[in-house]
Structure 1
Amino acid sequence: MTKSGKSTNPYYQGPRSDHFNGTRFFNPDGIPPGTLRDLLRWKWSGQDKVSPWPKAYPSRFAGARPAERVEGTGLRVTMIGHASMLIQTAGLNILTDPVFSERVSPFSFLGPKRHNPPGIVFDDLPPIDLILVTHNHYDHLDLATLKKLQARHRAPVITPLGNDTIIRRSVPDADITATDWGDATPFRDGITIHTEPCHHWSARGMRDRRMALWAAFVIETPAGKIYHIGDTGFHDGINYRAAAAKHGGFRLGILPIGAYEPRWFMKGQHQNPDEAVQGMKLAGIQHAIGHHWGTFQLTNEAVEDPLAALRAAGVEPEQFRALRPGEAMDVPWG
């Protein structure tokens, strides 16, 4: 806030809450994101070894051509890459955090670059009915992709508070619903999108930290409930327990398993695979898909470290799958 009492938040103006102080959002009783000093220590101290990725990490499933629809209680998820997924169920096609750009950065020539192409070619996408954007980091909110989707599909977007402002600046005619933690947004008969807490943060630049909200989504469908989290720290399992208590368990969880090293810097904002497995159990998730790995190198772990860590966590491979771009999973019922 300024001395005049006017908020300096360019994205959102609204009442204070248990996770908004009038200017910035925050994680109640949570760990704040690292400071610039922490970032410089990570990048330049030499204490934290970076495992190099191969220049290309291709997927044998690339170029998948998904079905136009999956009807009834069928549930199919196809990995596009990183946190971009195509969810098909009850005749509905949903995209999560769609990113088809070559880099996830404010610059077209600098920043994390793809190690594999999108698993579905953009022109091969089926008709898209709904887009979910969890938060505004560049690897989740890609304005260039949202522009293309608007031109081709004109699908409505649901996103947490403040992100609507960012999207509308580039896609002014987009149909956007901005939601807060705890909101339930009816979409179609039998389909409701619940916006739920996760432990993360937001920023598009140096001056807008935590000025737009971040969230998980629960997709309530006739085929069961899907718990989709774009990014989260484990946060002692608090949000997983709360989700189970509120929603009674899930047919599917889509959980981040990458970008977690070094732990001293990443622990508060990015869970590791072992914590993802713990979260799966705490939330009553029957089957899980791991994402946020294998496409963009954002942190220090090697490209396949998340796979090894999942195996070490002792979960059955068919119960918790880490999909490659273009790979699809038909989720069992029960």
Structure 2
Amino acid sequence: MKRRKFIKNTVAITAVSTLGGGILLSQKRQMKQITKNAALETVWGEWEKNGGNPTDENGLFLNMDTVGYEKASFGNVLKWQTSKNPFKERKNNQTQGTQVIKDDSFLNGTDDVIVMLGHATIFIRLAGKRILIDPLLGNVPVPYMEFLSSSKRFSEFPIDPQKLTNLDYILISHSHYDHCDKNSLKLLQKQNPNAKVLTGLKMQSLLQNWMPNHEIQEAGWFQKYKTDNNLEIVFVPSCHWSNRGMNDANETLWGGFILKSATKTIYFGGDSGYGNGTHFKKIGELFPNIDVAIIGAGAFAPTWFMKYNHQEPNDTVRAFKDCKAKHLIPFHFGTFDLSDEPLNEPAIVLEKLKAENKIGADELKIVKFGEVVLV
């Protein structure tokens, strides 16, 4: 049965190490430590009062939501890989993902824009600043697993990566390989020597190996980075986890970003399950009038296994409503074959939800890669 996909292997690796060390995503662990970057401002007073991000007794980060996470047991991984996939026939016939517009003229403009470049890689221009989120410019470099079909792109990268120059900020949401890519970051550091790198707590030691001459700022949740005066960027929670190998789960912090100018606010949700919705509601409360929410909708099947890490489209709409944004751009689908559903299933389900008036036609924006969205 051809069911070995990138996320399955990532989770399987972590599950094996969990059997040895119990390291994966357990909200039931006792909170022992609180962490933050003392050099940065915390924008939520209660979070500041409590000291910042909670960790467990081993110093591993925990999710904000109180939903009880199950450990990813080896048995559950096997159950997933050997269970029947209801999407199998459709997946066997898929040949390409999201449509691509190959036009790099947006790089030369001045308008506030969002341009989805594939998976979670997003170009944003806001307040005159050029920002790139989670750059992955090629295939997913899964260590020792390059043979997997899940590592290859089903949608071309829309522009020549060599043209990604004059970036002001590079944002890294978490350490997973499909969001934090060594080769992409090494290329970008050569092309953008003055770009500042913004990420979560404990990520600096990893990123400095690839970007030794760059300023790297680590933040806890609800902490504001030191940026240009006309632009605020805040690290915010997601319901997820982190790892690079077998023995480092949750040693680094994961999350999303709020980007705020004098007139516009953009929310990038990062990889996230819905959990109990606590973090989405709090983000909407702290940052009212979000113009565009970029929220994950892919790599969700089977939901019984994926729901703690990625949300399915119904939950994407719930999250959008929770944060009270004006417009939704879904992401995290159409590029890589990471889970049981077909590449463009999230878009199909979201269009159905729109037809059922679960989300307004003026609220939902499903974009092509390379398509320019004015903010």
TM-score range, shorter chain: 0.7 to 0.9
More moved, 46-55 vs 204-213: 46-55
TM-score by length of 1: 0.88
In structure 2, the partner of 1:290 is 330
Cα gap change, 1:47/1:79 in structure 2, threshold over 3 Å: closer, same or farther? closer
Paired with 2:316 and 2:199, the residues of 1 have a C-alpha distance of 23
Paired with 1:150 and 1:239, the residues of 2 have a C-alpha distance of 32
Q: Displacement of 1:301 after TM fit?
A: 0.7
Listed as ranges, the matches of 1:117-136 within 5 Å are 117-136=156-175
Deviation beyond 4 Å, 4+ runs, structure 1: 47-51
- Corresponding position: 1:16 with 2:33: yes
Cα gap change, 1:294/1:181 in structure 2, threshold over 3 Å: closer, same or farther? same
Structure 2 runs not aligned, ≥5 long: 1-22, 24-31, 35-52
In structure 2, the partner of 1:330 is 374
Identity of aligned residues (%): 27
Cα deviations by residue, 1:41-62 (Å, 9 ceiling, x for unpaired): 2112446654526343362413
Residue of structure 1 aligned with 2:345, choices 295, 305, 312: 305
Residue of structure 2 aligned with 1:39, choices 72, 77, 80: 77
Cα deviations by residue, 1:122-141 (Å, 9 ceiling, x for unpaired): 12335211011100111100
Aligned length: 315
In structure 1, the partner of 2:155 is 116
The secondary structure found in structure 1 opposite 2:153 is coil
- Corresponding position: 1:97 with 2:134: yes
Listed as ranges, the matches of 1:1-334 within 5 Å are 16-17=33-34, 19-21=54-56, 22-28=58-64, 29-30=66-67, 31-32=69-70, 34-46=72-84, 50=88, 51-52=90-91, 54-57=94-97, 59-70=99-110, 74-107=111-144, 109-111=146-148, 112-154=151-193, 155-314=195-354, 315-331=359-375
Could you tell me whether the CA contact under 8 Å between 1:77 and 1:329 is conserved in 2?
A: yes
Q: Displacement of 1:330 after TM fit?
A: 1.2
Paired with 1:220 and 1:93, the residues of 2 have a C-alpha distance of 13
Q: Displacement of 1:274 after TM fit?
A: 1.4
Could you tell me whether the CA contact under 8 Å between 1:215 and 1:229 is conserved in 2?
A: yes
Counterpart amino acid of residue 310 in structure 1: L
The secondary structure found in structure 2 opposite 1:232 is coil
The structure whose residues are more often helix, as a share, is 2
Q: CA RMSD in A?
A: 2.1
Paired with 1:297 and 1:252, the residues of 2 have a C-alpha distance of 26
Could you tell me whether the CA contact under 8 Å between 1:66 and 1:125 is conserved in 2?
A: no
Could you tell me whether the CA contact under 8 Å between 2:165 and 2:191 is conserved in 1?
A: no
Could you tell me whether the CA contact under 8 Å between 1:241 and 1:282 is conserved in 2?
A: yes
Q: Displacement of 1:63 after TM fit?
A: 4.1
Q: Displacement of 1:187 after TM fit?
A: 0.5
Paired with 2:97 and 2:85, the residues of 1 have a C-alpha distance of 27
Counterpart amino acid of residue 83 in structure 1: A
Paired with 1:32 and 1:311, the residues of 2 have a C-alpha distance of 32
Could you tell me whether the CA contact under 8 Å between 2:98 and 2:155 is conserved in 1?
A: yes
Paired with 2:343 and 2:296, the residues of 1 have a C-alpha distance of 14
More moved, 111-120 vs 148-157: 111-120
The secondary structure found in structure 1 opposite 2:346 is helix
Cα gap change, 1:33/1:308 in structure 2, threshold over 3 Å: closer, same or farther? farther
Counterpart amino acid of residue 249 in structure 1: N
The secondary structure found in structure 2 opposite 1:186 is coil
Structure 1 runs not aligned, ≥5 long: 1-7, 9-14
Q: Displacement of 1:40 after TM fit?
A: 2.1
Could you tell me whether the CA contact under 8 Å between 1:258 and 1:292 is conserved in 2?
A: yes
TM-score by length of 2: 0.79
